[in-house]
Amino acid sequence: MQELLFEIKNLRAHVPSSKGNIVAVDDVSLSIKENECLGLLGESGCGKTSLIKSALGFFQVSNRYNDAKIQSDWIYPYQLEYIDKETWKKTVSGRAMYRGIDLLELSETERARYLGRHISYIPQGLQGALTPVFSIGEQASEPLEIHITNMRQSEMRSQVLEYLDLVNLADSRERYVLDPGKFSGGESQRILIAMALVAAPYLVIADEPTSALDVTIQAQIMNVLKMVKEEFNVGLMVVSHDASVIAELADRVAIMYSGRLVEVGDVVQIFHDPRHPYTQGLMSSFPRIIMMQRLSSDARPRLRGIPGSPPNPREIPTGCSFHPRCPHAKSKCIDQRPELKSTSPTHQIACHYFE
Rounded Cα–Cα distance for residues 88 and 62 (Å): 11
Residue among 47 and 338 whose Cβ is closer to ligand SF4: 338
Q: Are 269 and 346 in contact (CB under 8 A)?
A: yes
Q: How far is the CB of 168 from ligand SF4 (least distance, A)?
A: 43
> Cα 140 to the chain's mean position, in Å?
21
One DSSP character per residue, 251-295 reads SEEEEEETTEEEEEEEHHHHHHS--SHHHHHHHTT-HHHHHHHHH
| SS3 label, residue 58 | coil
Rounded Cα–Cα distance for residues 208 and 224 (Å): 14
Q: Residue 322 interacts with ligand SF4 (CB under 6 A)?
A: yes
Q: How far is the CB of 350 from ligand SF4 (least distance, A)?
A: 7
Q: Residue 329 interacts with ligand SF4 (CB under 6 A)?
A: yes
- Name residue 341's beta-bridge partners: 349
Q: How far is the CB of 299 from ligand SF4 (least distance, A)?
A: 20
- Name residue 347's beta-bridge partners: 265, 344
Q: Where are the alpha helices (DSSP H) in the chain?
A: 48-56, 59-67, 85-89, 108-112, 136-147, 153-166, 172-175, 185-197, 215-231, 243-249, 267-272, 277-283, 287-296, 331-335
The vertex-252 CA angle with 298 and 2, nearest 5°, equals: 130
Q: Which of 94, 186, 311, 338 binds ligand SF4 (CB under 6 A)?
A: 338
Residue among 53 and 323 whose Cβ is closer to ligand SF4: 323
Scanning 88-96, 167-175, 302-310, 326-334 for contacts with ligand SF4 by CB under 6 A, the matching segment is 326-334
Scanning 33-41, 71-79, 158-166, 325-333 for contacts with ligand SF4 by CB under 6 A, the matching segment is 325-333
Q: Radius of gyration over alpha carbons of the chain, in Å?
A: 21
Q: How far is the CB of 282 from ligand SF4 (least distance, A)?
A: 12
Residue among 42 and 116 whose Cβ is closer to ligand SF4: 42
Scanning 69-77, 206-214, 310-318, 347-355 for contacts with ligand SF4 by CB under 6 A, the matching segment is 347-355
Size of the site for ligand SF4 (CB under 6 A): 13
Closest CA relative to residue 350, chosen from 74, 33, 28, 11: 28
Q: Residue 118 interacts with ligand SF4 (CB under 6 A)?
A: no
Site for ligand SF4 in 254-313 (CB under 6 A): 277
- Name residue 12's beta-bridge partners: 93
Scanning 83-91, 98-106, 236-244, 320-328 for contacts with ligand SF4 by CB under 6 A, the matching segment is 320-328
Q: How far is the CB of 222 from ligand SF4 (least distance, A)?
A: 31
Q: Which of 101, 328, 344, 346 binds ligand SF4 (CB under 6 A)?
A: 328
Binding site for ligand SF4 (CB under 6 A): 277, 320, 322-323, 326, 328-329, 333, 338, 351-354
